Amino acid sequence: MMSEGSSFMKGLILGGIFCLVMSYFETFNPGVHSESHQHLHHHLKPLSKDELQKLSESQMSELTQQVRVYCLIMVTPKLLVHWVTVNDTWSKHCDKSVFYTSESSKAVEGFDLQEQDEWARLRKAIKHAYENAGDLRWFFVARPTTFAIIENLKYLVLDKDSSQPFYIGHTEKSGELDYVEYDSGIVLSYEAVRRLIEMFKDEDKCPERGRALWKMPEEKQLATCLKYSGVFAENGEDAQGKGLFNKKSTSSLISDSMGQNPADVVEACCSDMAITFGGMSPSQMQVLMFGVYRLRPYGHDFHDSLTFLPPKDSDND
Amino acid sequence: MHARNTVWHTAESRRAALDLSQKVRVLCWVMTQPPHLESRTQHVRDTWGKRCNIILYMSSKESDFPTVGLNVSEGRSQLYWKTIRAFQHIHKHHLDDADWFLKADDDTFVVLENLRYGLSKHNTEEPLYFGRRFTPFVKQGYMSGGAGYVLSKEALRRFVKGFADGLCTHNTELEDTGLGQCMETMRVRTGDSRDVLRRQTFHPYPPYYYLPRQLPRPRPWYLLYEHYDPVEGPGCCSDLAISFHYIDAVGMHTLEYYTYHLRPYGYKYRFNPDNK
């Protein structure tokens, strides 16, 4: 009797583990679809200086006017100080910025999605942004612990056609899935968002509330849904191959570089055209705002091919 | 099709900064000590030290760093002696090698180009010195030691002469107050180092002390000595800031990155000192 019971138990346990493992793997492998193709462009760089020079003044002007960014900053009342700081700093450089919150706060303005689930919230925010984009064709999604230099983002996507699907940031790999890390910011073109919103309708491939036992972080859910719609993650880097999107703070990156490249700390660390830094405290953001938009050595002049004007009604840039 | 100057479009032009470095020569001396060479002074050397026309690292001991050995011992009580000896050394060996003479600590970050720009309007043959002006102890005020201060050639001559003639003595351990008193005795004027918008350029504390916005409030402790009415928030600090103090090794390289590398492509700066 005992041996039969224990066999049964073993079988039950093994079967249960098998099911769990299978559902775990399924969340990372959205299955083979007949239209899957080898994506060739995993590294995305800005226009080279040579190419920029070939453009005429009017082409330059046209491109500058076309690259307009809608910033979605995903906040919660717990991150109130970061929220207020982002509102006072880099978000002023977006053509439009909206703070999408899980619940409203009396202290500061935001768009209340009234949603506690992070993935559901992100979906709602993206839908709202798409519907209210006007003539803005690029979307940038960030947490308020991230600092972004929007001018450098515009420089990166200047020559990219927003009616093509683009999904850009710092890419990581999880099994078969390439995804863009949330903490270093996510860039999506208009077409990528259009396809994504279509895919939202598919409750099997892109469910609003995940059915797996392990809750997948939103960044991977996003990547999965995008992958199903034929949109693949690309790593944003400069001409030298340095990553432009960073999930670490400036001081953290500098500190790492001091350990790895003591003779050449700054050169080896980070790009001059960096776009994001994550894990920034509010006061670090205020200092970075000053460091990026104001602090400079007299007599170093740059003759850039593009011009971006300072935002109106702002005194810290 | 008009011809395009490729250099114009791609390169960073440092012509203006280079010209200034020849017209406004600055000798920097950094107050340091043997145990700090690896933890602090090295990072000064790796960042802003090389931008001085001449850089001297002043310590109690000579070394291959290289450091100049002054005839003093180490410790807070010796700081004014070190300062006196350092300026005497510079006066003896380098008076004609530079136009202006900057003192900084080994945890001060300095933007030399902005220092030269600020000094370019002044005459080094006049008895003048610049820095972050503090109020107490000296009638005309004195300059914060940590934020760094810079002496004109005439000011340096008078400082050294003051000690030679016995008009100035080692009457305090505080190097900045002591030097300030001697300057007043020798009729060297305290200059105003603020920019055209009256924003400070020399800073005795790191940027995060000053930049965050504050509700109107009584002066916090670190602004108590200010000679000019302090401003908190973005108006605290000039775009063409000259110095920040209490900067550790990571902070040095971070400020170096912010000042000389990281920038918003194509951005038209709001503040243009030459147009105001």
User: Among A17-21, A285-289, B29-33, B143-147, whose mean pLDDT is lowest?
Assistant: A17-21
Nearest to B254 among A53, A150, A254 (CB): A254
The residue-averaged pLDDT of A232-237 equals: 97
The residue-averaged pLDDT of B107-113 equals: 98
B2 falls within a domain? no
Instruction: Compare A21 and B84 and report the one with higher pLDDT.
Output: B84
Interface pTM, i.e. ipTM: 0.94
Nearest to B4 among A53, A255, A269 (CB): A53
Instruction: Compare B1 and A50 and report the one with higher pLDDT.
Output: A50
User: Among A205-209, B53-57, B98-102, B248-252, whose mean pLDDT is lowest?
Assistant: A205-209
Q: What is the pLDDT of residue A38?
A: 44
Q: What is the pLDDT of residue A211?
A: 61
**Is there a contact between B109 and B43 (Cβ–Cβ < 8 Å)?**
no
B274 falls within a domain? no
B5 falls within a domain? no
Instruction: Compare A62 and B253 and report the one with higher pLDDT.
Output: B253
Nearest to A310 among B213, B256, B268 (CB): B268
User: Among A44-53, B5-14, B196-205, whose mean pLDDT is lowest?
Assistant: B5-14
The C-alpha atoms of residue A129 and residue A147 are separated, in whole angstroms, by 20
Confidence of residue A8 (pLDDT cuts 50, 70, 90): confident
B272 falls within a domain? no
Instruction: Compare A209 and A232 and report the one with higher pLDDT.
Output: A232
Residues of B in contact with A272 (CB under 8 A): 261-263
The C-alpha atoms of residue A221 and residue A179 are separated, in whole angstroms, by 9
Nearest to A297 among B9, B114, B211 (CB): B114
Instruction: Compare A86 and B2 and report the one with higher pLDDT.
Output: A86
Q: CB distance from B114 to chain A under 8 Å? A: yes
Residue B145 has pLDDT above 50, yes or no: yes
Residue A144 has pLDDT above 60, yes or no: yes
Continuous segment of H or E residues that includes residue B6: helix B6-10
Q: What is the pLDDT of residue B183?
A: 98
* Nearest chain A alpha carbon to B118: A298
The residue-averaged pLDDT of A119-132 equals: 97
The residue-averaged pLDDT of B25-51 equals: 97
Q: What is the pLDDT of residue A228?
A: 96
* Nearest chain B alpha carbon to A55: B4
Tell me, rounded to whole angstroms, the distance of Cα B194 from its chain centroid: 13
Pairwise CB contact (< 8 Å): B208 & A308: no
Residue B63: give its domain's CATH number. Answer: 3.90.550
Continuous segment of H or E residues that includes residue B69: strand B68-69
Confidence of residue B10 (pLDDT cuts 50, 70, 90): very low
B41 falls within a domain? yes
B194 falls within a domain? yes
The pairing of strands B26-31 and B12-13 is unpaired
Confidence of residue A5 (pLDDT cuts 50, 70, 90): low
pLDDT cut 70: percent of chain A above it: 90
Please tell me the total count of domains within chain B: 1
Instruction: Compare A164 and A25 and report the one with higher pLDDT.
Output: A164
- A177-189 burial, b for 16+ CB within 10 Å, e for fewer? bbbbbbbbbbbbb
User: Among A146-150, A292-296, B68-72, whose mean pLDDT is lowest?
Assistant: B68-72
Residues of B in contact with A254 (CB under 8 A): 250, 253-254, 257
Confidence of residue A54 (pLDDT cuts 50, 70, 90): confident
Residue corresponding to tokens 């590294």:
A43
B268 falls within a domain? no
If contacts are CB pairs under 8 Å, which of residues 179-218 in chain B contact chain A?
207-208, 211-213
Kindly report the nearest CA distance between residue B186 and chain A, in angstroms: 33
B256 falls within a domain? yes
The C-alpha atoms of residue B65 and residue B55 are separated, in whole angstroms, by 12
Sequence-distant (6+) residues with CB within 8 A of A65 are none
**Is there a contact between A288 and A88 (Cβ–Cβ < 8 Å)?**
no
Q: Which tokens sit at A91?
A: 């978000």
Q: CB distance from B263 to chain A under 8 Å? A: yes
Residue B6 has pLDDT above 70, yes or no: no
Pairwise CB contact (< 8 Å): A291 & B4: no
Q: What is the pLDDT of residue B8?
A: 32
Nearest to B254 among A49, A52, A250 (CB): A250
**Residue A243: beta bridge partners?**
A237
Range of the domain at B100: 11-260
Pairwise CB contact (< 8 Å): B208 & A286: yes
pLDDT in tens, B151-195: 999 999 999 999 999 999 999 999 999 999 999 999 999 999 999
Residue A40 has pLDDT above 60, yes or no: no
pLDDT cut 90: percent of chain A above it: 74
DSSP-derived secondary structure letter, B273: G
**Is there a contact between B233 and A289 (Cβ–Cβ < 8 Å)?**
no
Residues of A in contact with B255 (CB under 8 A): 291
